[in-house]
Structure 1
Amino acid sequence: MGSIIQLAVSLVGVFVLARFGYQFRRMYLRSQVTTIPSIFFLFGTPLRFFVPNIPLINPINRTHWAVRFERYRQIQSSVFKTETPSKEHSSIWLADKMAIKTVSTNRKSWAKPIQLYKVLDLFGKNLVTTEGPEWKAHRRIVGPSFSEGVYKRVWDTSLVALEQMFQTEGLADLKPGEEIQIEDVTHVTMRLALVVIAREAFSFDMEYESKRDTNAKSLAGDHTMSAADALAVVSQSTLVKVLCPNWMYKIPNIPYVSERLAKIKDAFTNLDNYMLEMMADRRASSLAGEEVRSDLFDSLWRAADDNLDKQVDGETKWSFSDREVVGNTFIFLLAGHETNGHTMSFVFVMLALHPEKQVELLEHILTVLPRGRQPIYEDFQKLTHTMAVLYETLRLFPAVAVIPKVSTEDTTLKYQDIGGDNGIKTIFVPKGTDVTIDTPALHTNPLYWKDPLSFKPERFLEDYEKDAFIPFSAGPRACVGRRFAEVSNMVFLSLVVRDYEVVAIPRPGETEEAMRDRLVRAKPVLTLTPCGAVDLMFKRRA
């Protein structure tokens, strides 16, 4: 019996070794086909993002964003291949604007691998998780919901939320020259972003200092938490919901975990019911001729009703269900809350670490918004330097570090060579090849950006390489909420810097260099996220 087991184990071992040998040989032969450099590793996505950087084993993991263009510089190419034994095709990484523009705009040859995004169908299909004619239907309905009227309301709502923040955090009580330390700026900016999203997407009466929602009682249904409470929990727990399988929610009596998962499940259920009830309630009010609250959610369901059974792509018809209205509203919450909150945290860090840039920004703001004057929406276009600071921060800290694509047919890609005469080269790309748009590397490619690792907002006050700047993605699938984010961030940034100096203070025993390294540390989660508490001082200006 023992000899039979030994024989079986030996045969399995021989098979595994033979299989690995075949895969390694196939991988090596693939690497010889094209002229672009190859990087080899054992682990495929997503496993490699949880394994440390190990040369020849796992040279690319979740910390790759901090390396930015350095890997490309070392191999002297803005395009490279990654080879994994288990994959049939090479994967290609891009930090070249020409190749990225092709991949982003040529929808015939390139598609979004939506199977990677299906986990975000938590409330229903949406603009992020669809492709082809279905995506076009979503885009046609969702796009008009972002209008000039929406942006004006976002501006006013942002002013209210910021004033509430000043009161709650004690900034409003400071006299000139007095200062206060905020222990976690990211928590503050995330809360600000959530309040704006809650009010403008859902008309939830959320306030910065309170999670109470006065709108909850007017909605039908048997709820266990307010709409604002449910929204707050969902906004903080999407990653947990995505990663935890359904059976985990059924395991009782795991200390802390069971209670936490139960709260998350309860929040998602409540928010889902609230949105469906709101839609039914607003339809009924509209039919009765009553006034309906105007917000993004209202625009979506009206657009969906108006587009029922309209043709898309000739004969293809696509209706927009209530579930898809809810799904798209959730995606706006997820994208708007995370990206806005984290981006503003990074902005304040960069201004604190570069006081000379903060002074330049202040001087510009005062020409548009003298102290004591409340900003109006028409000031938005005048705040050019404020926008430049936002863009420069997004260049160095893009919310989404990588954008995946896949080739739908045999095709080619042109790119600019950086290792020779900077000429244009062409590579063949087989059907089914995974391609990664490397945003941090593109944003620091010295072909397009002078002194690319330095914080220089003034570069956006001049002509710049627009195809090399994609913080909101690129092509037809670029973020539809870009202006929404820019408007709210303009309010926050302009008024905070006008009235307060943002200062970085080393912790006890911490050197200036260590403080800088700590404050700019980040990690890709759902979006690029500051690591740890971001503590900054806010000093009232004279």
Structure 2
Amino acid sequence: MGETLAVELAPFSIRVLIVEPGAFRTENIFSQPFYEDNPIPDYDELRKVAIAHYKAVDGMQPGDPLKAMQALVDVIHGEGRAKGKAWPLFLPLGVETETAIRDKFETLDGLIDEWDELIRDTRLDNLWYGTALLALSVLLLLVFQKIIEFRRAVHSVNNHPGYRLLLNTLGPIENFFPRVPGITPGGFHMWRRKHKDFESHGWDVITYASPSTLYMRIVSAFLGSKTNFYVADPDAIKEITTHRARFPKPVEQYKLLTFFGNNIVASEGEEWKRYRKITAPAFSERNNRLVWDETILIVQDLFNNVWGDQEEIAYNHAVDLTLPMALFVIGVAGFGRRIFWKEDELVPPGHKLTFKGALHTVAKEVFTKLVVPDWVLKLGLTESHRQTTLAFDELHMYLVEMIRARKESEKKEERYDLFSSLLDANEEEEDGQVKLQDSELIGNLFIFLIAGHETTAHTLCYVFAMLAMHPEEQETLYEHIKTKSVIQDGGLLDYECMNALPYCGWVLNETLRMFPPVHSIPKSVAEDTTITISNAEARYWEDPHTFKPKRFMDDKWPRDAFLPFNAGPRACLGRRFTETESVAVIAMIVSRPAKKTRTQIKTGPKYDAS
């Protein structure tokens, strides 16, 4: 009982000590006569022996009760001979007690040796069968429970048309599965299928009901039924995106983007308002002009120092051109660091990579950073993991140094890159608002990098692909640029030229309509809801699967069915940044102003058959 009591009281920091004393010279046991009333005859002989024993030891006990009490006090207080020793559950006192305990241990040890075969041969036969049966029973109960939850989820939406799937559509792992009816819709299904799922069900709002979700750290687990609404109706989309309070952003899905610090993308409520108030001014008209001017110079540098006088320039993939180009633009217009196509930049003291090298690797390996846990990256099991860790550490170090240098400088240079504008806006923040911490500044700058690089680079890649596959549109675009007479001396285009080149914007918009950089925009309500970009829907776009930039010539084109930059209060702050950069690149690449002959974008032999 004492051992059980010790376990029960341990959570309350109450300790138990089981004292087992031997024979100590006290008078308590002999101060009263032995009780002999109503004796049981069967115990007469045993009683006589016990009484004789106690009378014989009276006054002959070897134990000193004072020493016993002193030992007990020492153990309780951890003093004297008990100092530095762990608390004992048992405290035997006296030589005869020690002898008796040792004799009992010896007896038990001998008994176990003698009877070990009988003692051990008591297990259930076919133990594996019982274990398997138990596991199967638990699994069946779990499946039954999830079936009930799944039916409730479907019933909660009145069995609205849509898909009933084993795997959820929003987990990151599901994107690596092929399309299997009843199991999974397939990787990036909304981007690949666009409006086909809505057409097959005859509704502009469909449901995806699933009993499970796969997550990064769980290979397969039932974690509760999920019902997601996918919305393709422009009026409904406008309602959802306009009312931010009723349809908040599920920021838990964006926590992976906070490894540098909290930011505007992974925030909501008052925190989002605070970030937006400070970051929005950075995307100014002056910054747009800087984006245009620097993009023109970057493309001109490409012409002069990379392409030169080559009659034909071949790329294995268009992103081999657009990724570095977008990186250079975000480098100078985002961080105030001009980067050239060909340069021998020295690694600064205290660093292992140049700023260009760190920025390039971070932009290239951001997906690795998002999906691989930090502790795995730090192990450095592969060269990719080692380079990713180094690049992110180096970029963080560069940004910290840039922030510190800017704050400590006496004379602040007038600059309009996002980094400088963000720091200026943060320093000017008043009205009792808390300024952004350095980690928050870096977190938002990192979001600018991701948003301004990856999406723009791939959009431009699709632009060139569509122009190559539609040479008639490429010819129309070239004639449009040529007839506008916007090319300045030296083969450069001035920022004021942008508004005079609407066809470049139409080509960009048509590409974004067909290949949006983000295929869905999640919103939360009582149940998870996702807005699907339904840009290919026939009711809103005539001949939606055909590349027709002139559809944007009509000023009444359906803007509510066009969401490459989101909509409502949470619309992308960098929309004008991307549009400015993209129009400048398209105009320069297609016209190549300094050359007497135009650039002709073509597909390679691999794609000629299609």
Q: Same fold (TM over 0.5)?
A: yes
What residue is the counterpart of 1:126 in the other structure? 263
Q: 3-state DSSP class of the match of 2:313?
A: strand
Report whether the alignment pairs 1:466 with 2:559.
yes
Kept in 1, the 8 Å contact 2:463–2:508? The answer is: yes
What residue is the counterpart of 2:160 in the other structure? 36
User: 1:398 offset after TM fit, Å?
Assistant: 0.4
TM-score relative to the length of structure 2: 0.73
User: 1:14 offset after TM fit, Å?
Assistant: 2.0
What residue is the counterpart of 1:304 in the other structure? 426
User: 1:372 offset after TM fit, Å?
Assistant: 6.1
Kept in 2, the 8 Å contact 1:212–1:229? The answer is: no
Uncovered stretches (5+) of structure 1, i.e. residues with no partner: 312-316, 408-430, 514-542
The verdict on how the C-alpha distance between 1:99 and 1:318 changes in structure 2, with shifts beyond 3 A counting, is farther
What residue is the counterpart of 2:468 in the other structure? 352
CA distance in 1, matches of 2:188, 2:210: 17
Kept in 1, the 8 Å contact 2:565–2:575? The answer is: yes
What residue is the counterpart of 1:21 in the other structure? 144
User: 1:2 offset after TM fit, Å?
Assistant: 4.5
Q: 3-state DSSP class of the match of 2:340?
A: coil
Kept in 1, the 8 Å contact 2:306–2:341? The answer is: no
User: 1:105 offset after TM fit, Å?
Assistant: 1.5
User: 1:127 offset after TM fit, Å?
Assistant: 1.0
Question: Could you tell me which of 297, 309, 319 is aligned with 1:160?
Answer: 297
One-letter identity of the residue aligned with 2:309: D
User: 1:251 offset after TM fit, Å?
Assistant: 3.0
One-letter identity of the residue aligned with 2:546: S
- Counterparts of 1:430-441 in structure 2, within 5 Å, are 431=526, 433-439=527-533
What residue is the counterpart of 2:176 in the other structure? 50
What residue is the counterpart of 2:440 in the other structure? 324
Q: 3-state DSSP class of the match of 2:314?
A: strand
Q: Deviations over 1:457-507 (max 9, x none)?
A: 001111211011011111111110111111111111012112334343452
Uncovered stretches (5+) of structure 2, i.e. residues with no partner: 1-123, 213-223, 593-597
- Counterparts of 1:277-316 in structure 2, within 5 Å, are 277-285=401-409, 288-289=410-411, 291=413, 293-307=415-429, 310-311=431-432
CA distance in 1, matches of 2:316, 2:427: 46
Kept in 1, the 8 Å contact 2:331–2:337? The answer is: yes
Q: 3-state DSSP class of the match of 1:210?
A: coil
User: 1:325 offset after TM fit, Å?
Assistant: 0.9
- Counterparts of 1:66-145 in structure 2, within 5 Å, are 66-86=192-212, 87-145=224-282
Question: Could you tell me which of 205, 209, 216 is aligned with 2:342?
Answer: 209
Q: 3-state DSSP class of the match of 1:399?
A: coil
One-letter identity of the residue aligned with 2:445: T
One-letter identity of the residue aligned with 1:352: A
The verdict on how the C-alpha distance between 1:19 and 1:305 changes in structure 2, with shifts beyond 3 A counting, is same
CA distance in 1, matches of 2:482, 2:309: 22
Q: Deviations over 1:269-323 (max 9, x none)?
A: 11111111111111221xx235365421111112112225x35xxxxx5431111
User: 1:232 offset after TM fit, Å?
Assistant: 1.2
The size of the alignment, in residue pairs, is 465
CA distance in 1, matches of 2:126, 2:305: 75
Question: Could you tell me which of 370, 378, 394 is aligned with 1:270?
Answer: 394
Name whichever structure is richer in strand by fraction. 1
Kept in 2, the 8 Å contact 1:161–1:207? The answer is: yes
CA distance in 2, matches of 1:26, 1:121: 33
User: 1:77 offset after TM fit, Å?
Assistant: 0.9
TM-score relative to the length of structure 1: 0.81
CA distance in 2, matches of 1:293, 1:108: 36
Which deviates the most, 95-104 or 139-148? 95-104
What residue is the counterpart of 1:239 in the other structure? 367
Q: 3-state DSSP class of the match of 1:92?
A: strand
Question: Could you tell me which of 301, 315, 318 is aligned with 1:182?
Answer: 315
What residue is the counterpart of 1:512 in the other structure? 609
Structure number with greater CO (CA < 8 Å, separation at least 6) is 1
Kept in 2, the 8 Å contact 1:165–1:209? The answer is: no
Kept in 2, the 8 Å contact 1:211–1:229? The answer is: no
One-letter identity of the residue aligned with 1:267: A
What residue is the counterpart of 1:446 in the other structure? 538
Q: Deviations over 1:491-540 (max 9, x none)?
A: 110121123343434526x6522xxxxxxxxxxxxxxxxxxxxxxxxxxx
The verdict on how the C-alpha distance between 1:180 and 1:273 changes in structure 2, with shifts beyond 3 A counting, is closer
The verdict on how the C-alpha distance between 1:490 and 1:132 changes in structure 2, with shifts beyond 3 A counting, is same
User: 1:347 offset after TM fit, Å?
Assistant: 0.3
One-letter identity of the residue aligned with 1:115: E
One-letter identity of the residue aligned with 2:496: E
Cα RMSD for the two superposed structures: 2.0
- Counterparts of 1:368-383 in structure 2, within 5 Å, are 368-369=484-485, 373=489, 374-383=492-501
Q: Deviations over 1:225-281 (max 9, x none)?
A: 2222111111111111111212223435x4xx1x33222211111111111111111
The verdict on how the C-alpha distance between 1:388 and 1:211 changes in structure 2, with shifts beyond 3 A counting, is farther
Overall identity of the aligned pairs, in %:
33
The verdict on how the C-alpha distance between 1:4 and 1:181 changes in structure 2, with shifts beyond 3 A counting, is closer
User: 1:202 offset after TM fit, Å?
Assistant: 1.3
Question: Could you tell me which of 131, 134, 138 is aligned with 1:8?
Answer: 131
User: 1:212 offset after TM fit, Å?
Assistant: 2.5
Give the greater-gyration-radius structure (CA): 2
Question: Could you tell me which of 566, 569, 585 is aligned with 1:492?
Answer: 585
CA distance in 2, matches of 1:505, 1:445: 28
- Counterparts of 1:517-536 in structure 2, within 5 Å, are none
